[in-house]
Amino acid sequence: KQEVTQIPAALSVPEGENLVLNCSFTDSAIYNLQWFRQDHGKGLTSLLLIQSSQREQTSGRLNASLDKSSGRSTLYIAASQPGDSATYLCAVRGNYGQNFVFGPGTRLSVLP
């Protein structure tokens, strides 16, 4: 059974800092992995989707990498801004028709 963890649970950084959020999964037989952002009291907004054949995806100041063999993905945020403050969740989809399994999220606070 796939399990997804995200460490740390919460992170606080000053504005302008580059930061890395981590996502670990136990079963490397994945189809794809998706990163989401969730603002307080809101739904999830898709940030990046990485297929199992890809090593990374980039969108603006965001870069997500995938290392299936080690069961890890990282989300890199460059030049963080207060508007980046939110909870970031990763979700992993298995190869054999399984649905997405979500991590608990990392709550990010970027201080002005």
Partner 1 sequence: EAGVAQSPRYKIIEKRQSVAFWCNPISGHATLYWYQQILGQGPKLLIQFQNNGVVDDSQLPKDRFSAERLKGVDSTLKIQPAKLEDSAVYLCASSLDRGTARTGELFFGEGSRLTVL
Chain residues binding partner 1 by CB under 8 A are 4, 31-32, 34, 36, 41-46, 49, 51, 89, 91, 93, 99-100, 102-105
Residue number with CB closer to partner 1 (77 or 91): 91
> What does the alpha-carbon distance between residue 76 and residue 21 come to, in Å, rounded to a whole number?
6
Closest separation between CB of residue 102 and partner 1, Å? 3
Tell me how crowded residue 106 is: count the other CB atoms within 10 A of its CB. Answer: 21
- Closest distance of CB 32 from partner 1, Å: 5
Taking the least distance from each CB to partner 1, the nearer of 43 and 112 is 43
Question: Which of residues 90 and 110 has its CB atom nearest to partner 1 in the complex?
Answer: 90
- The DSSP result for 44-102, as a single string, is EEEEEEEETT-SEEEETTEEEEEETTTTEEEEEE-S--GGG-EEEEEEEEETTSPPPEE
Distance in Å, CB of 67 to partner 1, minimum: 19
